[in-house]
Structure 1
Amino acid sequence: MSFLRRFSTFRPVLSHVGSSPVSLAPQVEFEFMDLLVPKYVPKGAKSMKLNKLVTVKGPKGAVDIVLPSFVKLNKEGDKVDVRVEQPQDKLQKQLWGTMRALLNNGVVGVTEGHTSTLKFQGTGYRAMLEEVDGVKWVKMKIGKCDLQGLPVPEGITVTAPTQTLLILEGCDKQKLNLFAAKLRNMHPPERYKGKGIYLNGETIKLKDKKVK
């Protein structure tokens, strides 16, 4: 007895994240415009054209988001639908959810704000805030004779409740986390004694000391 192999066809699988609409609060404004000079970003063998600028405004500030040409936005009432031209295309499908997440992060940022924390662990490790020539700086004592630090970018607020804790706040999540990562990379947690700067409650597994 022979069996016939049956094939069935399915519709292209949509992005579960990208197909969810972005909800807008009443005080949030969306502005769309085309970039006069588009940017091209290499993506493997292909290149992605960035030619759309979305500005999200709210009580906490404003966030600019650059989107690729294949992303389509449709605002209806208090929701924004995010679509791509070809959902079956691998690159567009991969970035569909990412673009939707960027827009949602912008909405959350201008209404509630984003927060990152840096915790300092080690004998004598501490952080302080100083103002130099009208510019606010984060200065850190992290195991070296000289203080290390970076100027605080515009749009980010830094507070130091204690000498071993920094709280960073801002409406642009990418910009906020990038600044926090730069500070952390000045002394990442080391795996033998656990000294270093910990970002957003991260934990590490300490290595056993070598016994001769």
Structure 2
Amino acid sequence: MSRIGKKIILLPKNINVNIKKSHISITGPKGKAEYTLSKLITLKQKENTIQLEATNNSKETQALYGLSRTIINNMIIGVSKGFNKQLDIQGVGYRSQIQDNKLILNVGYSHQIIIEPPQGISISVENNTKIHISGLDKEIVGQTAAKIRAVRPPEPYKGKGIRYNNENVRRKVGKAGK
């Protein structure tokens, strides 16, 4: 069985959990999140904890056991604290801005790149070179950050491009002259 699935999920005081059969809805100060579990996994709530139990030992159940626990735990963190990602833009003339709730990137192309954030995701820009992405759903926050980074990933010679805040870009040595 999954070691992750066996762990008990602790509920903070400001979180409300509603469990109906295989459906769980979690409400907190940042918003509301819902998830429908597989019929192979059951939930039990005791006071301020949630425990997942697998109905059998099949491979499919084992695969869903730890996954379901992690998704529910991320939902609890999302509605209580939220998730954040930060991207940095490096390069001469590279910049970003927010206009009409859309992210506009000028990163060396002949045209601007316009990215509209998905529902529930907020994007803010600081100093034209730092992009902050925040939201309730860890998966959507990470996917949005990856989509923005994919517009101009950092190149290995000068390091220009869009990178995660603490990302280490391995640099290559340029062509040697005579």
TM-score (norm 2): 0.90
Alignment of 1:172-187 (within 5 A): 172-187=137-152
Residue 30 of structure 1 is matched in structure 2 by 17
Could you say which structure has the higher strand fraction?
Answer: 1
Query: How far did 1:67 drift?
Result: 2.5
Residue 135 of structure 2 is matched in structure 1 by 170
Q: Deviations over 1:88-136 (max 9, x none)?
A: 32332233222111111110110111111111111111110001xxxx1
Residue 157 of structure 2 is matched in structure 1 by 192
Alignment of 1:34-45 (within 5 A): none
Alignment of 1:10-159 (within 5 A): 14-33=1-20, 52-86=22-56, 88-131=57-100, 136-159=101-124
- TM-aligned CA distance change 1:194 to 1:138, over 3 Å: same
Q: Runs (4+) of structure 1 moved beyond 6 Å?
A: none
Letter in 1 for 2:139: Q
Alignment of 1:4-15 (within 5 A): 14-15=1-2
Letter in 2 for 1:82: L
CA RMSD across the alignment: 1.8
SS at match of 2:141: helix
Letter in 2 for 1:123: V
Letter in 1 for 2:159: G
Pairs aligned (count): 177
Letter in 2 for 1:125: Y
Could you say which structure has the higher helix fraction?
Answer: 2
CA distance in 2, matches of 1:208, 1:85: 56
Asked whether the equivalents of residues 149 and 183 of structure 1 are also in contact (C-alpha less than 8 Å), the reply is no
Report the identity percentage.
28
Query: How far did 1:211 drift?
Result: 3.9
* Structure whose CA Rg is larger: 1
**Structure 2 unmatched ranges of 5 or more:** none
Query: How far did 1:65 drift?
Result: 2.4
Letter in 1 for 2:117: V
**Structure 1 unmatched ranges of 5 or more:** 1-13, 35-51
CA distance in 2, matches of 1:98, 1:124: 43
